[in-house]
Structure formats: C-alpha cells, structure tokens
Amino acid sequence: MAKRKREVTEAKIERFIKEGRGQGTGKDYLPWLKIQDVPSEGRATRGVGWTTGRRHELMSDIERDYCYLLDYSDNVTDIREQFPLLPLEETLMIAEKLGIKHPADPKTGVPVVMTTDFLVTYKDKEYARTVKPFSETEDDRTIEKFEIERVYWETRNIDWGIITYQDLPEPLIRNIEWVHKEYHNEDVPELGHFAVQNLQRILATRLYDGEKISTACLACDEQLGLEIGTSLAMFRHFIARKIWSVDMNERIIPSLAAKDFTVNETVVSLAKGG
C-alpha cells in the first residue's frame, strides 16, 4: 500500500478548500483535517456523534474525551472539530504583527492552515476551544501558536480558551464512553416497542429494588428469553438517551447497584429512533 503524502503544498490547500473542508454545519460539516491527513497523538477516533450524527475526526485521546463531554450536554447543538483558521492570509498577517513565525510544513516550507480543535455551538453562541495536555501548554512555541489563535478568534468576538485534562471530569467522561455506542441500539427496532417497554418495566423494578446492575440485567434476559447481554446493552441505551438517570459523576460499575437510579421517561420516547 502506498504511503499517504502528508506534506502541505499550496495545491493541497486549494484542493481542501474546493472539497468544502471546514465548511458546513451539523451533519454536513467537513473537518479541515481527517485522521489520515496527520500523524495522530494517541488513539485517533472516528466516533459517530450524538449531537451531529456524523463521524468525528478526533486526533488524540483528550480530543475524544472532550467530544464525549460535548455530546452529553443538552445545550450543545453543534460540534465542529479541526476547524480551519481561514483565510490563510489572515493568520499570516496576525503572526507578522505579533512578530511570531507562522507554522509551516517542515519539508515544503509552505505555510499551513492553522486549526482550532473545536468550534462549539452552545446555547446558540459559538465558542472556540483548543484541547491539549497541560504539558504542551508550557512549550514556548506552542504558546506562540496559541496567541495567533487567540487573536484570530478575538477579531470575530468569539470566546476562545484552552482545555486540559485538569478541566475534564474523568468519572463522567468514562461513563459517557461506556454508554456512548449504545445511543443507537440495534435491538430497539428489532425487539419492537412492546418488548422494549416490557424490558424497561422489569429491569427498572429490579434496579429500584437495589439489585446489582449485572444481576438485574441477567435476570431480565432470562425472564424475557433474550440473548445474554441484551438487557445490559439496553440499560446503557436508556442512560445514553437520558430515559433513565444514574449518578454520572461516579463510575458506573455493573457489579454494583445503580446509584441514584431514576426513570425519567417512558419508553414511548424511543419512537424518535433507536
């Protein structure tokens, strides 16, 4: 297999612009950079977002974790990752005014299009966020690039800030990660409304009684004649959809009871889709 060329050239920048990268909103947004375009820092992820309904191009573990947090918020209506600071001439001018060397490709010397990790729409207002491990925020060259970013967004009256691991609530994020893929649960349309409603009633009763999550789910599978693991997947689905609630700020451990378990809605809300 031929190795993908990652060098930045003027022709490549023009091609990205023509492809519509960095344009659109919601499901139609196309990130400026895709995972295959750059070496990733950690485990790159292409998770399907709850908010946007598209696959996100996440270049590092911290980007993935921050995206989980954004996805879980009811007030976030759009998430645009790898957002380009265009036109390129503007960041070049900002860098010149600040007396900072503009980022360029080390092989071609062509100035690169800078990106902000996330442009988030929260309560109908846009926020630009750069997401980096704290150690990177102490590097002099990184700080210079941050300053270019800051000025770029300041001219647009958009709040810009830096997110580090210290800002991320680890238990909440790990819980979101655990339920995330079950948001779109294939068992919902397959089982049908009546069966899902019955499962919800039986499982909720056991959880309210303080049974361990894994024990209650196994018993529910056996009572309803379901494949083992179905009820646990549905438990995660109900939590992801916020049909059920538990204390998300403490790690959900299936071998323990569900803390602060509450039924928020009946299963009729699943009519909007599994």
What CATH number is attached to the domain comprising 209?
Answer: 1.10.10.10
Please say whether the beta carbons of 111 and 160 come within 8 A: no
pLDDT per residue rounded down to tens, the chain (274 residues): 344 567 889 999 999 999 999 999 999 999 999 988 876 555 566 678 999 999 999 999 999 999 999 999 999 999 999 999 999 999 999 999 999 999 999 999 999 999 999 999 999 999 999 999 998 888 999 999 999 999 999 999 999 999 999 999 999 999 999 999 999 988 888 888 899 999 999 999 999 999 999 999 999 999 999 999 999 999 999 999 999 999 999 999 999 999 999 999 765 444 333 4
In a domain, 242, yes or no: yes
Domain extent, residue 261, equals 171-272
Q: Which residue among 168, 194, 226 closes a domain?
A: 168
pLDDT at 266: 67
Shared domain check, 26 and 162: yes
β-pairing verdict for 262-263 and 244-245? antiparallel
Does one domain contain both 136 and 20?
A: yes
Indicate whether 162 and 62 sit together in one domain.
yes
Distance CA 134, CA 126 (A): 24
Are 255 and 159 in a shared domain?
A: no
Alpha-carbon distance of 227 to 243, in angstroms, equals 22
Task: Report yes or no on whether pTM surpasses 0.85.
Answer: yes
Asked if the bond preceding 133 is cis, omega within 30° of 0, the reply is no
Whether 84 is covered by a domain: the verdict is: yes
In a shared domain, residues 234 and 112? no
pLDDT of residue 5: 64
Number of domains the chain is built from: 2
17 and 108, same domain (yes or no): yes
**Same domain membership, residue 159 and residue 34:** yes
> Would you state the pLDDT for residue 2?
41
Terminal Cα-to-Cα distance of the chain (whole angstroms) = 38
| Per-residue model confidence (pLDDT) at position 269 | 46
2 found inside a domain: no
Instruction: With respect to residue 215, please indicate whether it lies within any of the assigned structural domains.
Output: yes
Same domain, yes or no: 135 and 155:
yes
Residue 1 lies in a domain: no
Task: Tell me, yes or no, whether 184 lies in a domain.
Answer: yes
pLDDT at residue 43, as a whole number: 59
